[in-house]
């Protein structure tokens, strides 16, 4: 295997990131994992405000550790002429510029996509906003939970009595992943055309795409999608069921074939297959409460471990509800050697390899930077080399 084949896929790609919080940093961390050089510009006095969200990772922010691995941190005051001119030199040599500042902030700094694209035709710009560059919400501040509300996600998440925030930042993650894939697409297109492009992603648009199922179900079915806790709103049986030892198992039946297997081999009640209340999935969903009572009555004769064994034997998909601690020691992740060590200002940390596995390659998993750790070196590098 030659030297070129050993290089990571984005080796030689330089990304300038004027970013904060989660969405843009999550996108650029994916690029860093693929070997891109990501120069993260942070403000004087505190840097990316996500550094102060918490102190749970040996004194570091869990959010910041998660989405900033493998980057170089440079502290610049973009209102100062010297630092602003340094950014111009960055961009003259960069392939990608990513920003998710507040509405209009990048343009006020002279870093709007239209200006940069006119000056640097091969540059790919990526603007991540809350609600998009136009429309009545264009100047509205946006944070993850608030976008979830605007997208209708909380209306279908939680129990019947109360909406609930999902346990992760899904709007930020959705926006970050679409930005990441948009940038990769733009890099691929530039290989063919020689021209960069302007990529724009709004968190609302990203999460709205993920709301496709409840939208179509309500728009064409007529009935609002109800909040159903940990149960599936439109498939039955699909959710958690109590066993004889008080523990719960989660299971999912996705087809009539699986329904027959559940009745005959797990519940040991083959007559349920012909019961008109449970004849097909819409009928089972309508009578979900009755079906749950029947299933838990059967499961009461077994421990959760025993029910899991029966489900596995019948080919019924199932899972156990794990805590974060149990997830961190998941036997499947451990058996597949998915954990790696990486550096940080607080010492060695452990994290998961990125999900995409490419034969013969492994993600870079670079260190999390301290605030301004690379400022002096980057100033020297770009001062010496100028725009060439």
On whether both 103 and 41 belong to a single domain, the answer is yes
CATH number of 304's domain? 3.30.1540.10
On whether both 48 and 154 belong to a single domain, the answer is yes
Structure tokens at 282: 């819409």
pLDDT digit string, tens, across residues 59-88: 999 999 999 999 999 999 999 999 999 999
Instruction: Tell me the average pLDDT of the chain.
Output: 94
pLDDT digit string, tens, across residues 303-360: 999 999 999 999 999 998 899 999 999 999 999 999 999 999 999 999 999 999 988 8
On whether both 206 and 112 belong to a single domain, the answer is yes
Q: Which has the higher per-residue pLDDT, 362 or 128?
A: 128
On whether both 139 and 181 belong to a single domain, the answer is yes
- Quick check: 258 and 316 in contact, CB under 8 A? yes
Residue 94 is assigned to a structural domain of this protein: yes
Where does a domain end: 322, 342, 373?
Answer: 322
Q: Residue 246 pLDDT > 70, yes or no?
A: yes
Residue 366 is assigned to a structural domain of this protein: yes
**Do the strands 124-129 and 96-99 form a parallel or antiparallel pair, or are they unpaired?**
parallel
Where does a domain end: 283, 300, 322?
Answer: 322
On whether both 96 and 77 belong to a single domain, the answer is yes
Q: Minimal CA–CA distance to 152: which of 201, 232, 210, 238?
A: 210
Q: Residue 153 pLDDT > 60, yes or no?
A: yes
- Quick check: 47 and 371 in contact, CB under 8 A? yes
pLDDT digit string, tens, across residues 272-309: 999 999 999 999 999 999 999 999 999 999 999 999 99
On whether both 24 and 165 belong to a single domain, the answer is yes
pLDDT at 263: 97
Domain range spanning residue 137? Answer: 3-211+333-385
On whether both 64 and 152 belong to a single domain, the answer is yes
Where does a domain end: 296, 322, 348?
Answer: 322
pLDDT digit string, tens, across residues 208-245: 999 998 999 888 877 788 788 888 888 999 999 999 99
Residue 19 is assigned to a structural domain of this protein: yes
On whether both 143 and 23 belong to a single domain, the answer is yes
On whether both 256 and 121 belong to a single domain, the answer is no
Q: Residue 266 pLDDT > 50, yes or no?
A: yes
Q: What is the dihedral of CA 362, 98, 184, 177, to 10 degrees?
A: 70
Q: Just list the catalytic residues.
A: 232
pLDDT at 387: 45
CATH number of 136's domain? 3.40.50.10540
The pTM is what? 0.90
Residue 223 is assigned to a structural domain of this protein: no
Residue 226 is assigned to a structural domain of this protein: no
pLDDT at 5: 59
On whether both 278 and 310 belong to a single domain, the answer is yes
pLDDT at 360: 87
On whether both 10 and 146 belong to a single domain, the answer is yes
Residue 1 — very low, low, confident or very high, per pLDDT cuts 50/70/90?
Answer: very low
Residue 220 is assigned to a structural domain of this protein: no
pLDDT at 337: 96
Burial class (CB in 10 A: 0-12, 13-18, 19+), 246: exposed
pLDDT digit string, tens, across residues 178-193: 999 999 999 999 999 9
Q: Which has the higher per-residue pLDDT, 38 or 213?
A: 38
Domain count, the chain: 2
On whether both 199 and 269 belong to a single domain, the answer is no
pLDDT digit string, tens, across residues 94-144: 999 999 999 999 999 999 999 999 999 999 999 999 999 999 999 999 999
Residue 195 is assigned to a structural domain of this protein: yes
- Helices within the chain (DSSP H only): 3-6, 23-33, 62-67, 81-93, 105-108, 113-119, 144-150, 170-193, 203-210, 212-221, 256-261, 281-286, 288-299, 304-314, 324-328, 331-335, 375-385
Residue 12 is assigned to a structural domain of this protein: yes
- Our CA angle for 94, 192, 26, nearest 5°, is 45
pLDDT at 384: 66
């Amino acid at each position: 295997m030659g030297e070129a084949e050993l290089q990571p896929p984005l080796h030689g790609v330089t990304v300038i990131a004027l970013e904060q919080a989660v969405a843009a940093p999550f996108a650029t961390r994916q690029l860093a994992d693929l070997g891109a050089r990501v120069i993260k510009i942070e403000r004087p006095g505190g840097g990316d405000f996500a550094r102060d969200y918490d102190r749970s990772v040996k004194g570091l922010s869990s959010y910041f550790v998660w989405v900033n691995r493998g980057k170089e941190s440079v502290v610049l005051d973009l209102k100062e002429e010297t630092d602003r001119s340094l950014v111009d030199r960055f961009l003259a040599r960069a392939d990608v510029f990513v920003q998710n500042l507040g509405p209009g902030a990048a343009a006020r700094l002279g870093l709007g996509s239209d200006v940069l694209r006119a000056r640097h035709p091969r540059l790919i710009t990526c603007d991540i906003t809350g609600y998009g560059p136009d429309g009545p919400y264009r100047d509205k501040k946006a944070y993850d939970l608030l976008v979830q509300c605007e997208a209708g996600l909380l209306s279908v998440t939680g129990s019947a009595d109360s909406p609930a925030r999902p346990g992760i930042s899904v709007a930020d993650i959705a926006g970050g992943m679409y930005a990441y894939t948009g940038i990769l697409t733009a890099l691929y297109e530039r290989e063919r055309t020689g021209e960069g492009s302007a990529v724009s992603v709004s968190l609302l648009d990203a999460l709205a795409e993920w709301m496709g199922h409840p939208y179509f179900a309500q728009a064409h079915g007529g009935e609002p999608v109800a909040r159903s806790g940990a149960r599936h709103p439109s498939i039955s049986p699909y959710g958690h069921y109590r066993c004889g030892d008080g523990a719960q198992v989660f299971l999912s039946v996705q087809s009539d074939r699986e329904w027959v297997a559940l009745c005959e081999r797990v519940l040991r009640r083959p007559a349920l297959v012909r019961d008109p209340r449970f004849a097909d999935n819409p009928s089972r969903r309508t009578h979900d409460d009755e079906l749950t009572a029947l299933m838990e009555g059967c499961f009461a004769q077994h421990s959760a471990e025993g029910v899991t064994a029966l489900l596995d034997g019948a080919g019924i998909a199932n899972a156990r509800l794990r805590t974060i601690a149990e997830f961190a020691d998941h036997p499947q992740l451990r058996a597949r050697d998915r954990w790696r060590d990486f550096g940080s200002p607080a010492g060695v940390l452990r994290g998961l390899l990125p999900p995409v596995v490419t034969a013969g390659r492994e993600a870079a998993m670079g260190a999390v930077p301290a605030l301004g750790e690379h400022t002096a070196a980057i100033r020297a590098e770009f001062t010496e080399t100028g725009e060439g």
